[in-house]
Structure formats: C-alpha cells, structure tokens
Amino acid sequence: MATTIHHRTCNLCEAICGLEIEHDGSQILSIKGDKQDPFSRGHVCPKAVALKDIHEDPDRLRQPLKKVDGQWQSISWDQALDEVAEKLGAIQQAHGKDSVGVYLGNPNVHNTGSMLFSRHLLHALNTRNRFSATSVDQLPHHLIAHKLFGHQLKIPVPDIDHCDYFLVFGANPMASNGSIMTVPDVRHRLKAINQRGGKIVVIDPRRSETAEVASEHLFVRPGSDALLLSAMIHDLYASGKVATHRLHDHTDELEGLEAQFSPFSPEAVAEATGISALEIRRLVSEFTSAKNAVAYGRMGVSVHPFGTLSQYLIMLFNLLCGRLDEPGGLMFTRPAIDTLSVTGPGNFDRSRSRVRQLPAFSGEYPVATLAEEILTPGEGQIRALLTVAGNPVLSTPNGRQLDKALEQLDFMVCIDFYLNETSRHADIILPPVSPLEREHYDVIFHLLAVRNSSRYADALFEKPKDAKHDWEIFLALAERLSPARGLKQKFSHLGRRILTPKRTLDALLKRGPYKLSLKKLRAQPHGIDLGPLQPQLPEGLHHKDKRIHLNTEFFLSDLERLKTLLADTERHEQVLLIGRRHVRSNNSWLHNSQRLVKGKPRCTAQIHPRDAARMGVNEGQNVRITSRVGSLVVPAEVTDEIMPGVVSVPHGWGHQREGVQLSVAKEHAGVSVNDLTDEQAIDALSGNAALNALPVQLSAAS
Ligand SMILES: Nc1nc2c(c(=O)[nH]1)N[C@H]1C(S)=C(S)[C@@H](COP(=O)(O)OP(=O)(O)OC[C@H]3O[C@@H](n4cnc5c(=O)[nH]c(N)nc54)[C@H](O)[C@@H]3O)O[C@H]1N2
Ligand SMILES: Nc1nc2c(c(=O)[nH]1)N[C@H]1C(S)=C(S)[C@@H](COP(=O)(O)OP(=O)(O)OC[C@H]3O[C@@H](n4cnc5c(=O)[nH]c(N)nc54)[C@H](O)[C@@H]3O)O[C@H]1N2
Ligand code: SF4
Ligand SMILES: [Mo]
C-alpha cells in the first residue's frame, strides 16, 4: 500500500509544532514531529496524535442537527442555514440588534479561516453583545499592549533563547507548551538556559512541572503577585538599580513613579505573599545583575483579581530594568503576515455592558457578565445566542448560572462539531470540517513566537462533499442575514475574485515584510526560519508619536485596591482555589480521545498534607469545595506540590450532563471547577474573570 507524508502545523495549542503525518489517502498511519521544522525541531507533545482521534471520532458531528421536540434530527445545510438566519433575523427585528449575543471560543484563534472571516458574520449581526474566551484569558495583555504600545496585538514576548535569567509568574509552559509566548520544544529551550549558566525562577502556589525543571521555585499566596511585584519595584528604586537609560528616549512618564510604591516595601508584603523580604531583595538583585534577564507572567496572574495590575507591573519591572526591546529580554516579533496592519489598534471602554456596566474591550464585553445579560429582563436583553468554537458552560465563571440562562433563550445556535455541555442547549448545531480537512497558517501565533518563522500547509484530506468550513458557514449566514451588504464588494481590492482564506493569505504574505507567498511557502513544507527577534523601538511602536504611553494613572489607580488586599489579614487565612493544566488535556474538548484521558483520573483537588490532616482526609477520599456560587465534591490528591491553604482543581471537566454526546467514561468525566468560580470575581481594571485565587471553604465530604 502506497503511503504519503503530509507536513503541517499542529493547531491544538500555541506552540505550533511541525508535524509529519503518514497516511494512505484516507487513513492516518502515524503522526510524528517534523524534525526538519526549523522552529519546533521535531518536538511534539502527546496531544498531536489527538488530531487523528478527532478526525476519526464517531462522536464528531458531520451533519447539521436540529432539535425537534427534544430530539436531534439531521437536516440539510440549506435548511439549517436558512432557519438560523431566519430566526436570528426575526429576533433582531422584534427586539433590536443587541438581542442576539455571540460568544467566540478559543479554537477560533487556531483556525485560519475563522481568523480571517469571522468579522463578516459579526458585521452582519451588528450586535453589541459580543463575548469571547479573551476575557477568561489574555485580556490584560491586550489592554496593556493597546495603551502602552498603541495596538492590542503589539505584545512583546520573552526572548527565551537568549536570556540567562527567566523569572516566571504563574505560567506552566512545561504543561501548557507556552502561552502568549509561542515556544515549541520548551523543554529544551528551558534546559538551554540552565546549560549556558543561566537561571529559571518560578513563582507559583504550586510546584508545577515548570518549577520542577527550574533552578528555583518560590511558593506565592494566590492573588498576591501584584504585592510581590510592587515590592520588587520598591526595592529597585530603594537600591538604586533602576536602569531606564533607553526607556527615557521612548517615554516621559517616569516622574513620581517611585513614591507610588512606597507602601509596598518587601517587609510590608512578606506575610501576604508568603515570600520573605530577604528573598524579594535577592530576586531583584539577581535579576538586575544578570546579563539578559526577563520577567514573564501568564494565566496564574492574568486571570486573577489583580490580573491587569499584575501584568502591568511585570511590564513595568522589565521596563525599569531596561529589558524591553533588548535581546534576551522582552522583544517584539516581526511575523511574515503583518497581522497588526489588518486588525484595529483596539479600544477600551467605548461602551458598557447593560447589567453590570462592565467596559467593552475592542467591542467585546467580559464574558463574566454573559449569563446576567440573558437572565435580566429589559431592553437589550439577550434572547438568542450564537456560539462559535466555544464551550462557555465549562470554561466561564459560574457555569451553572450560564447553563440555566441558556435554557431560557428563545433560540441558540452553535457552530461546533461536538454535542457537549454548551451545544446541548442549542436549537441548531452547525458542524464544521475536522482540523485536517482545512489549510492552516497561524495568523496569530507567529506573531507571538520567540523566533520569527513562517509555515503553511494545505488540507491533508479533501473535505467531504457535503461539509463546510467554519468560514463558509460564516459567509453563508452573513449573506442570508444581510444580503444588501454585498459581501464580495468588500474584497474588490483583492481583485474581485471569490473570497477564500487561501487568496487572503497569499495577498497578506505578499504584502508582508518578507514578501513571501503561498507558492514560496508551499515549496518549503517544513517552514521557513526568519531569524531571531530584533530590536524595533521606536519605529515598531503604533502610537503616532512613536512613544510608549505608560498610562500610569490608569493602571496604578489599582494600587489603592492593592492596599486593601495588604490590610486584609483575614484573607491570609482563607483557602484559595487555583486551576491546573495537564499536558494531555486541552481546555474542555479533547477528553473524547481515549489515549489522552486514560490512566488515573486527573480531575482531582490537590491539597497540602497539612490541610488534609486538619480535615482527616486521605489520598483519594472526597473533599467538598464550596464557594459563594456553588459546591463540588472532588477526590483529594494529597501532595506537598501545593502550598498549604491552597486547593487546585483543573478546568474543562464535568462531562456527565444530560444530553451530552461524548464517549467519556464515567470515571473520567470529572466535575467542572467553573461551577465554583464566581462571575462577580473580576479584575477591576479590565473585567477579566478572576478564576484563580478564589476564596473557598474546604471540608471532608461524607
Ligand atoms: N496541555 C494543555 N496545554 C494548553 C492548554 C490546556 O488546557 N492543556 N490550554 C491552552 C490555553 S487556552 C492557554 S491560555 C495556555 C495557558 O498557559 P499557562 O498559563 O502556561 O498554563 P497554566 O497551567 O494555566 O499555568 C498557570 C500557572 O499559574 C499558577 N497560578 C495559579 N494562581 C496563581 C497566582 O495567583 N499567582 C501565581 N504566581 N501563579 C498562580 C498555577 O499553579 C499554574 O502553574 O495553555 C494552553 N496550552
Ligand atoms: N477555571 C478555569 N477556567 C478556564 C481556564 C482556567 O485556567 N481555569 N482557562 C480559560 C482559557 S485560557 C480559555 S482559552 C478558555 C477556553 O474556553 P472555550 O473556548 O469556551 O472552550 P474550549 O474548551 O476551548 O472549547 C472549544 C470548543 O470548540 C470546539 N471546536 C474545536 N475546534 C473547532 C473548530 O475548528 N471549529 C469550531 N467551530 N469548533 C471547534 C470544541 O468542540 C469545543 O466545543 O477556558 C477558560 N476557562
Ligand atoms: S505542543 Fe501544542 S502544537 Fe505542539 S504537538 Fe502539542 S498540542 Fe500540538
Ligand atoms: Mo486560553
């Protein structure tokens, strides 16, 4: 039997590993790392083979479904698209544009066609009630990039291949494979830091997989990072180590900064953070004396009560140490597609959500308020919802509230290929093709990569005759919803040809800084290396005056709230809930792959032996975790990996719900930690959800 090798990029996470897929035209025989990919160098994680599992999964939907009297029926694409457009149109006609809500989930960002075409559907719907996974994730990064550098996507990444001191706050790239830092083969890249005599320091309430390979790990009380960072900046000034010579050329707002940090001496924050004054001073001294140091923070500090302030202080610390735009520091990328030139710079607080008055960022409200917007009557109430590649019932705070809210909708449509916890509420499900049936170019993750590179792959399998891409579904709905807009005209600058992602990509590549094209990329199926990250200040800044706008007043206004945290001695005693990721999971949607879920059930509550002893709980026995919004019973995993007074439960589990059609065995179904997380707990500056550092009660479950 003749077999062929297909080269492509894995679209499952941000690491964009090159893959080598052996197949016989219809069957996949093996999936391996592509050793000739200059960026990922043959690295893959166990999830890569899940691409085969997803493709072959009998549970994966291949035909539109309609719920009729509580039963699912297969219907034709024409009927499905007509009915969806008709319903959404009628509801908007009767109740206004904002009566239809939209939620865009994470896999959209890993889907080329969706990235390039979702705006057509959004334009056609023209609703202000837009939400996405951004506000349970990286919203603080966008807000900071928008304000400081002039564009929401102008996000610098750690130049980890050239740094010799890597200070990590609340990120676990050894499990996540990196985030807002596209870094395939992170294990070897971290190892290389150690090998060149450098140091990795991890600040985390859990001794994570990354802490295990680091030179040093410091436990920090969840939610207290902004205190720690403020003390570090305090000490930077106190010890005369501020090194802003280059920064002065690019910004002018440094006066008066020092005084704002005076309440946060290392001594003052030691108890609240769990890190001694001596250690805080040592961190600063090591960081400032290293040749190439960089500080980086991710989910553990983005999605917590001081998410934006923490990320801002990490940025400020790097800036004050002269580490922005320096090799081995925090660097900007130069991708082959200038994504920034085709996306808006972003905007903040142009409108407020109806019920809780939360600020919009770039036209999206924080998803923490989605359920109330459905449940609260009045003008502008959401009566119909469209979700695209999202599972907000499992991924957003107070999922049970949302579960109830979705039941009450007049109409719901999901563009998704699984019948899961969210799509079970739909009236119609529109399933797109499998990831292997589409071409792939990473429009976003090359932009966030620790090295400039470019790689394109055509679809591995031709899509079945009666199947549609996400982007085709978007266009079909957009045309039906607003035929007058004359969609094709919008692209006349591309030559009046029929819109496709390939044509758009080709045009964008040709316009990009390396003048590539699809033809050139096809000729190099392993991808092209475009070199290490290069300094680009001030030309690379997007503000017209080519300066960094520190916006200290806006960001540091949150120091007032931080003082309250410092004074809140009661909080020091509370048990705090944090999340966890495992290398064989991907948010909520890979648990149908038997080879990924097999083994010991992973949806456990990690607790410290001291807390276990206090409750009389042994390994494997159940604990009850209770928050303001809910209560869960979870098997305990007793381990000194976790700090005393902290409990860690992974998200994305909880598949045993009526109507879910997934083949996850009962013992692996787990529970959803977002039945505990609180929609009222948000980062005050951005409205991002505070999923980490949530106060809970912990007890033995009978
Ligand atoms: N295998 C796998 N890979 C993934 C995903 C997945 O689900 N599985 N998801 C992908 C997605 S969508 C994302 S956004 C990225 C996320 O990528 P990461 O941010 O690297 O991943 P997390 O595991 O969420 O890491 C957060 C860390 O913060 C710690 N933490 C929690 N609270 C605090 C706190 O208050 N302070 C500090 N300092 N630390 C804290 C946690 O213990 C954890 O180690 O991963 C991506 N990659
Ligand atoms: N407690 C807690 N909650 C969290 C997190 C945490 O750390 N802790 N992490 C948060 C983060 S970082 C994120 S990004 C969110 C993720 O939140 P979501 O994006 O809402 O959830 P996912 O689990 O990624 O669900 C993705 C859905 O898309 C579908 N899908 C996959 N590929 C495609 C495709 O190509 N097209 C279409 N149409 N559908 C597709 C899947 O079947 C699945 O239903 O979860 C957040 N929730
Ligand atoms: S690390 Fe991410 S991109 Fe690489 S193989 Fe695993 S899931 Fe795919
Ligand atoms: Mo994410």
In this structure, what are the phi and psi dihedrals at residue 623, rounded to the nearest 5 degrees? Answer: -115, 155
How many other CB atoms are there within 10 angstroms of residue 248's CB atom? 9
Residues of the chain with CATH 3.40.228.10: 139-335+545-556
Q: Which two tokens stand for residue 290?
A: 């290293």
Average pLDDT of the residues in 355-378: 98
Nearest atom (ligand 1) to Cα of 175 = 1
Express each pLDDT in 593-637 by its tens digit: 999 999 999 999 999 999 999 999 999 999 999 999 999 999 999
Angle at 415 between CA 413 and CA 421, to 5 degrees: 75
- Look over the chain and give the mean of its residue pLDDT values, rounded to a whole number: 96
Residue 658 has pLDDT above 50, yes or no: yes
pLDDT on residue 247: 82
Cross-strand pairs, 699: 624
Would the CB of 687 count as within 6 Å of ligand 2?
no
Whose atoms come closest to the Cα of 11: which ligand? 3
pLDDT on residue 572: 81
Does domain 139-335+545-556 fall under CATH 3.40.50.300? My reply is no
CA pair distance 594, 580, nearest whole angstrom: 20
Contact assessment for residue 130 and residue 101, using Cβ atoms and an 8 Å cutoff: yes
Whose atoms come closest to the Cα of 171: which ligand? 1
Q: Ligand 4 centroid vs 106 CA: distance in angstroms?
A: 6
DSSP-derived letter for residue 153 is T
Residue with tokens 């036209």: 363
Nearest atom (ligand 1) to Cα of 210 = 44
Residues of the chain with CATH 2.40.40.20: 574-700
CA pair distance 363, 158, nearest whole angstrom: 28
pLDDT on residue 253: 82
Q: Which CATH number fits domain 4-56: 2.20.25.90, 1.20.210.10, 1.10.3470.10, 3.40.980.10?
A: 2.20.25.90
Residue ID of nearest Cα to ligand 2 atom 42: 418
Whose atoms come closest to the Cα of 204: which ligand? 1
Question: Within 13 Å, how many C-alpha atoms sit on residue 145's CB side?
Answer: 24
Would the CB of 183 count as within 6 Å of ligand 3?
no
Average pLDDT of the residues in 421-449: 98
Nearest atom (ligand 1) to Cα of 580 = 23
How many other CB atoms are there within 10 angstroms of residue 618's CB atom? 11
Q: Counting Cβ atoms within 10 Å, is residue 644 exposed (0-12), middle (13-18) or buried (19+)?
A: middle
Express each pLDDT in 131-188 by its tens digit: 999 999 999 999 999 999 999 999 999 999 999 999 999 999 999 999 999 999 999 9
Does domain 65-132+356-511 fall under CATH 3.40.50.740? My reply is yes
CATH classification (class only), 574-700: mainly beta
Q: Ligand 3 centroid vs 10 CA: distance in angstroms?
A: 6
pLDDT on residue 245: 78
Least confident of 39-48, 331-340, 480-489: 480-489
Would the CB of 51 count as within 6 Å of ligand 2?
no
Q: Ligand 4 centroid vs 300 CA: distance in angstroms?
A: 11
CA pair distance 144, 147, nearest whole angstrom: 5
Using alpha carbons only, how large is the chain's radius of gyration in Å?
25
Q: Which two tokens stand for residue 586?
A: 């991907």
Nearest atom (ligand 3) to Cα of 583 = 6
pLDDT on residue 487: 52
Express each pLDDT in 271-280 by its tens digit: 999 999 999 9
Q: Which of 541, 523, 516 is nearest to 446 (CA)?
A: 516
Express each pLDDT in 212-254 by its tens digit: 999 999 999 999 999 999 999 999 999 999 998 778 889 988 8
pLDDT on residue 621: 98
**Please, which pLDDT band fits residue 491 given cuts at 50, 70 and 90?**
very low
- H, E, C per residue of 587-621: CCCCCCCHHHHCCCCCCCEEECHHHHHHHCCCCCC
pLDDT on residue 495: 45
Q: Counting Cβ atoms within 10 Å, is residue 8 exposed (0-12), middle (13-18) or buried (19+)?
A: buried
pLDDT on residue 494: 45
Q: b/e string for 144-169 if b means 16 or more Cβ within 10 A?
A: bbbbbbbbbbbbbbbbbebbbbbbbb
Express each pLDDT in 296-347 by its tens digit: 999 999 999 999 999 999 999 999 999 999 999 999 999 999 999 999 999 9
Residue 486 has pLDDT above 80, yes or no: no
Q: b/e string for 565-594 if b means 16 or more Cβ within 10 A?
A: bbeeeebeebbbbbbbbbbbbbbbbbbbbe
Residue ID of nearest Cα to ligand 3 atom 4: 17
For residue 640, CA distances in Å to 575, 587, 646 come to: 15, 25, 11
How many residues are present in the chain? 702
